[in-house]
Amino acid sequence: MDKPSHLSIVLDLSPKQWHLAAQPGSPHPITLATFLSHLLAFLNAHIACKDENSLAIFGALPGKSILLYSSAAPVDDGDTEPADANTYRPFKLMDSIIMKSITREIDALGEPETEEPIGFVGALTKALCYINRVTTSNTTSGDRGVDPATLPDPRILIISVSPDQSSSYISVMNSIFSAQKLASFDLFYQKVTIDVCKIFGAESVFLQQAAHLTGGSYIDVDRPDALLQYLMMSFLAPPGLRQLITVPTQDKIDFRAACFCHKNIVDIAFICSVCLSIFCSPVPVCSTCRTKFPIKTLQRLNASRPNTTPGTPRPPTPANSLPRSTSIAPQSLPRSTSIVPQSLPRNASNGASTLR
Amino acid sequence: MLDDEDEPSVRKVKGKGKATDGRKRDKGKSKAKEQPYAWEATYTRSWDTVQEDEAGSLQTTVRDLIARSRRRRLIGPASAIRRTIIRHLVLILDLSASMTDRDMRPTRFDLMLQYAREFVNEWFDQNPLGQIGIVGMRGGIGERIGEISSNPQDVLKAISERHKLEPAGEPSLQNAIDMARSGMRQEITIIFGSLTTCDPGNIHDTLDECVKDKIRISVVALAAEMKICRELCVKTGGQFGVALNEGHFKDLLFELIPPPAQRALARASGPGANPAADLMLMGFPTRLPATSPPGLCACHGELKSEGFLCPRCAAQVCDVPTDCAVCGLMIVSSPHLARSYHHLFPARPYHAVMALDEASAPSATCHACAAPFQEKASQAGAPASEGVSPLGRYRCSACARDFCADCDVFVHDVLHCCPGCGK
């Protein structure tokens, strides 16, 4: 791989979720401080891989998102740390800038009564905009006549601790599609790979789809205390090298979607034939395109609902605490294709841990 | 359902050969293609319409182009478009020696490839659950160029490598149609530049088979009308057209994009066409990995590891979108549906910031990509074209954040989601 690689990290910094992750009650607690020390070692490794490798870190905080660090930004040497004989100076600088900006942002949060939803979509879209800027030779601001061969190979790593926000379904999907399209202006096959590292919390349906659709890997970390191992083994190699290094892949991909009416995540839904809007229950008029549906269809669907779609009338789940796939039908059926693979996730992801 | 700026307006200018292409990124290219019919042609050269300013720079023209596309975006949604659910199409490209003719500039072949790419993009926009396969006619045989796929990127990749598609030999309609017919295909679109076809058997037998299988064949001919082409289309209920020039070629091709149900409204309703809006029940499956224990698939009865699980009856099916063989539920992958949602919920247009308001403490960098803004207005003397900010700042009306010109274009053309407000 001759091309330099650009890594954008979307860092989920939800205080509530990190607090929960650090609780001693969980089997393998991890504190934010431990996590950051693992992450910094990984980032140093990424920069050390190649001289031209670049890095940008986007933090998703409650109600906002921010660029925490960019290797393109000029470094002000004003108040740097004293030199450390044991650390390579550029690493030291980078680490201290990242730590400072994270501390600053977390301090700025204060102690609000209720936590706003995390600004995950903002961070992801910013990461895409940033990649768009560094990978396309500019037309409008003209002064950069960059040779396309030296443009970096971009990828995104999402480090997530929060559950899905079903209200952001459309935005996340739009981001996935733009990641697929992003680099395709001159090269049709290149795209931005989205990798997902899930450290804590329930499996994320949307992030699974993101990794699947962009050819990345979704890794649910079993042992957060060995995080660095996961990061180094799975996420350090740029996508071009991934065929040579067998990176653990996903076991099952959940293709569920969020409905437009109640933002529930559903596996069986009612779709408007005109605009393809998703509803969790039969509605007389499409709320998006104002199409009226025939009464007959409504009656038929309503009549068939109780016995044919047991998955649908699930109690509406609050947006922030979505349970793992709980379709009732598959579990109660004797046919056990849905049960056998349950054992697989353990095995497959153990592949990563046995490397230790 | 509202249309956005991505939709070229060609459907509205049927017959008149002015292909005004709305796509921003082929702006430069499509300008060259805008021309009237050959007999009313006043020979325009695209490079003459670009004016240099006093300093000999093209900057003003470029800015003008940007401004124009911004304005188009602000005018925004116009017509309602109805999207179909499931469509299967095989696009047959003529790769015979006759495609090297230069009667369409630069050559028939290059033009066909370019329009085929635009066609595929547009087609997937309007038929998000559709699938396209590509077959080439070259050297007397049919050649599978792109496997049938529902991912526009896969299809585009198949026709992006020009050197692999170099025209040669004679075309064979029969071979190509037979190849396209294998499997359950509903529609075949042929781009045909030759005046001959060299077939191994009787093409009328193939035609009868197509009629029996209810396959709709449409042909866009580039040379002249051939009886067999006309017959293929008439008997199978497709459309036939001979392209008069480049613009008309594109019109003919793009007329085939709207789903058949829509076109059938004028005629008697076609096979399977259901013009009434309806509410449908669909299921979103779970995908099994290649490493899972094999199971019998419900559709073919074969032992397979990979597959999808029906959310209602947990039957394993090979591919989506499909109808579950056990419970009849329509199984679709939700990303296919989501592909068209940016039409429903477009990002709000940004407005250009003309002057800085010091009181509001403007940010120094773009909110999305963190590129620093220029301090002062550029080129004070330059004519301020509307829609272009002299400061290079564009502001979202919802979250009041500033974005640079690159991000403005990217957010509205690709991302469809404002990084500031997440809507």
Number of domains comprising chain A: 2
Q: Which domain-ending residue is among A184, A209, A241? A: A241
- Whether A251 maps to a domain, the answer reads no
Check A129 against B411: CB less than 8 A apart.
yes
Q: Which amino acid is at A40?
A: L
A342 touching chain B per CB within 8 A:
no
- Whether A273 maps to a domain, the answer reads yes
Q: Answer yes or no: do A92 and A186 share one domain.
A: yes
Check B422 against A168: CB less than 8 A apart.
yes
Q: Answer yes or no: do A116 and A54 share one domain.
A: yes
pLDDT band at A186 (very low <50, low <70, confident <90, very high): very low
pLDDT band at B6 (very low <50, low <70, confident <90, very high): very low
Q: Answer yes or no: do A326 and A184 share one domain.
A: no
Check B279 against A121: CB less than 8 A apart.
no
pTM, to two decimals: 0.72
Check B407 against A330: CB less than 8 A apart.
no
CB-based contacts of B61, cutoff 8 Å, min separation 6: B50, B51, B52, B53
Q: Answer yes or no: do A72 and A183 share one domain.
A: yes
Q: Answer yes or no: do A224 and A272 share one domain.
A: no
Residues of B in contact with A188 (CB under 8 A): 153, 156-157, 160
Check B422 against A121: CB less than 8 A apart.
yes
Q: Which domain-ending residue is among A184, A208, A241? A: A241
Q: Answer yes or no: do A85 and A44 share one domain.
A: yes
Residues of A in contact with B278 (CB under 8 A): 273, 293-294, 297
- Whether A213 maps to a domain, the answer reads yes
Domains of chain B as residue ranges with CATH: 64-82+341-423 (3.30.40.10), 86-263 (3.40.50.410), 282-340 (no CATH)
Q: Answer yes or no: do A339 and A235 share one domain.
A: no
* pLDDT at res. B68: 64
Beta bridge partners of B125: none
- Whether A236 maps to a domain, the answer reads yes
Between chain A and chain B, the number of residue pairs with CB atoms below 8 A apart is: 248
Residue A275's domain comprises 256-308+316-356
Our CA-based measurement puts residue A13 at a distance from the nearest CA of chain B, in whole angstroms, of 18
> Looking at chain B from residue 175 to 214, which residues have their Cβ under 8 Å from any Cβ of chain A?
none
- Whether A249 maps to a domain, the answer reads no
A106 touching chain B per CB within 8 A:
no
pLDDT tens string B181-216: 876 667 899 999 999 899 999 999 999 989 888 888
Q: Residue A133 burial by CB count (10 A; 0-12/13-18/19+): exposed, middle or buried? A: buried
Q: Which amino acid is at B33?
A: K
As a whole number, mean pLDDT of residues B252-259 equals 83
Q: Answer yes or no: do A233 and A271 share one domain.
A: no
Q: Which of B291, B367, B409 sits opposite A344 (nearest CB)?
A: B291
Our CA-based measurement puts residue B284 at a distance from the nearest CA of chain A, in whole angstroms, of 5
Q: How far is CA B124 from CA B45, B128, B154, in A?
A: 32, 5, 12
Rounded distance, CA B318 to CA B325, Å? 11
- Whether A247 maps to a domain, the answer reads no
B258 touching chain A per CB within 8 A:
no
**A266 to chain B: closest CA residue:** B284
For the ranges A55-69, A283-297, B244-258, the one whose mean pLDDT is highest: A55-69
pLDDT at B275 over 50: no
Rounded distance, CA B376 to CA B387, Å? 18
- Whether A161 maps to a domain, the answer reads yes
Q: Which amino acid is at B331?
A: I
**A302 to chain B: closest CA residue:** B281
Q: Answer yes or no: do A283 and A222 share one domain.
A: no
pLDDT at B71 over 50: yes
What CATH number is given to the structural domain containing A236? 3.40.50.410
> Looking at chain B from residue 59 to 98, which residues have their Cβ under 8 Å from any Cβ of chain A?
59, 62, 66, 80, 82-83, 85
Q: Which of B289, B410, B416 sits opposite A249 (nearest CB)?
A: B289
Which residues in B38-50 are b (16+ Cβ under 10 Å) and which e?
Answer: eeeeeeeeeeeee
Residues of A in contact with B419 (CB under 8 A): 65, 122, 125-126, 129
Q: Answer yes or no: do A231 and A282 share one domain.
A: no
As a whole number, mean pLDDT of residues A291-305 equals 82
Arithmetic mean of pLDDT over chain B: 76
* pLDDT at res. B57: 66
* pLDDT at res. B55: 64
Q: Answer yes or no: do A169 and A32 share one domain.
A: yes
Where do the H-state alpha helices sit in A136-204?
169-181
- Whether A77 maps to a domain, the answer reads yes
Residues of B in contact with A291 (CB under 8 A): 277
Q: Answer yes or no: do A18 and A73 share one domain.
A: yes
Q: Which domain-ending residue is among A241, A264, A284? A: A241
pLDDT tens string B319-362: 777 788 888 888 888 888 887 787 777 788 888 887 777 666 77
